[in-house]
């Protein structure tokens, strides 16, 4: 599944499968401006750290196209638009990485014209897009080797093809195990309140013919106690320098339960999801989203009017609960401050 993010040369636009409406219908969202890109990121037309990074890369190019022909200092206008993309969502580090990568190309080009910069940016966005799929396939290869034939793998949120450019991180591990001839199945936690597990993980696994069952988030303890879970594999929106993993809200609780029942808990993410500039998970800004995601199902309100809710979108899982961090360059093991430092020292 790679068609959910498409650059259209004919329209000079980024075309995104609108994940808000899955699995009930497939609609496409067309991005031609910075405003379109930021909207798609904020309301989660596209979500998942690697997919956000790919979208942001194309967004920088589209921002440059938008600036073309504007009166005034194009560099000042463009810098402002890059800032809008950079700040669209606070937690996923891939977004900022992509914007900084485009900024690096601009800086290294020196006194370049906008007309000469744009093709460089589009080429780099396409490289990031294609490269993300290749990275996920390598994550699947390394992670698949950690899975055993017959395993039932629990995952939380959606870290599949839809959350990346294709193949997936956590679900890439599932696909990698299957590619290695192993029979595995998945328990997809529903992942309240946006239901990425029930809607998106179940959608893409069912579409690919991979056995999947959806479980209520609060069923995790009983499922583990009954021996129905062999491994847990999740993605991450940011991994900090000490190996803490920030992922969808509820991941921390799943990790605590996995530790209680001696179930290996793995995090699968590309290397550029690791933020060596942020010391621990407690230092990561946690997005506080629209309360209506919790208070409403469709147009129907659940809690009484006037009752406030928490809608924190992510939580940090401490490194001591993580059995391994699966990257495209191999599996990192504790102590993570050392293995992460070694990973980046090779650059």
Residue with tokens 């209506």: 292
Can 275 be counted among the known catalytic residues?
no
Is 89 marked as binding a ligand? yes
Is 48 marked as binding a ligand? yes
Number of CB atoms found within 10 A of residue 130's CB: 14
Nearest to 53 by CA among 271, 307, 225, 222: 271
Is 176 marked as binding a ligand? no
Burial class (CB in 10 A: 0-12, 13-18, 19+), 55: buried
Q: 36, 132, 230, 237: which one is catalytic?
A: 237
* CB-based contact 17:51 (threshold 8 Å): no
Nearest to 43 by CA among 66, 20, 75: 20
* CB-based contact 158:175 (threshold 8 Å): no
Is 53 marked as binding a ligand? no
Is 247 marked as binding a ligand? yes
Question: What are the binding residues?
Answer: 47-49, 89, 196, 247-248
Catalytic positions, written as ranges: 237
Question: What are the binding residues for substrate?
Answer: 47-49, 89, 196, 247-248
């Amino acid at each position: 599944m790679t068609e959910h993010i498409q650059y259209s040369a004919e329209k000079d636009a980024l075309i995104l499968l609108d994940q808000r409406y899955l699995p009930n219908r497939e609609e496409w969202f067309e991005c031609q401006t910075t405003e379109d890109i930021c909207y798609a990121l904020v309301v989660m037309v596209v979500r998942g750290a690697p997919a956000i990074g790919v979208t942001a890369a194309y967004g920088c190019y589209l921002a440059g196209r938008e600036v073309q022909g504007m009166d005034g200092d194009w560099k000042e206008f463009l810098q402002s638009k890059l800032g809008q993309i950079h700040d669209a969502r606070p937690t996923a580090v891939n977004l900022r990485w992509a914007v900084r990568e485009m900024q690096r190309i601009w800086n290294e080009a020196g006194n370049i014209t906008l007309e000469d910069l744009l093709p460089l940016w589009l080429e780099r966005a396409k490289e990031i897009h294609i490269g993300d799929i290749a990275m996920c396939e390598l994550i699947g290869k390394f992670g698949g080797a950690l899975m055993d034939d017959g395993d039932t793998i629990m995952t939380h949120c959606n870290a599949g093809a839809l959350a990346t450019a294709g193949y997936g991180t956590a679900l890439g591990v599932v696909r990698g195990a299957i590619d290695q001839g192993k029979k595995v199945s998945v328990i997809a936690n529903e992942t309240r309140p946006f239901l990425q597990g029930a809607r998106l993980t179940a959608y893409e696994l069912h579409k690919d013919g991979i056995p999947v069952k959806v479980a209520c988030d609060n069923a995790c303890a009983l499922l583990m106690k009954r021996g129905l879970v062999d491994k847990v594999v999740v993605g991450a929106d940011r991994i900090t320098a000490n190996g803490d993993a920030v992922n969808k809200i509820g991941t921390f609780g799943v990790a605590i339960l996995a530790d209680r029942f001696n179930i290996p808990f793995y995090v699968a993410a590309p290397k550029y999801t690791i933020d060596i500039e942020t010391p621990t998970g407690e230092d990561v800004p946690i997005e506080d989203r629209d309360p209506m995601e919790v208070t409403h199902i469709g147009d129907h309100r659940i809690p009484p009017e006037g009752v406030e809710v928490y809608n924190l979108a992510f939580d940090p899982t401490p490194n001591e609960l993580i059995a391994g961090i699966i990257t495209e360059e191999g599996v990192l093991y504790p102590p993570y401050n050392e293995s992460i430092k070694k990973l980046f020292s090779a650059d």
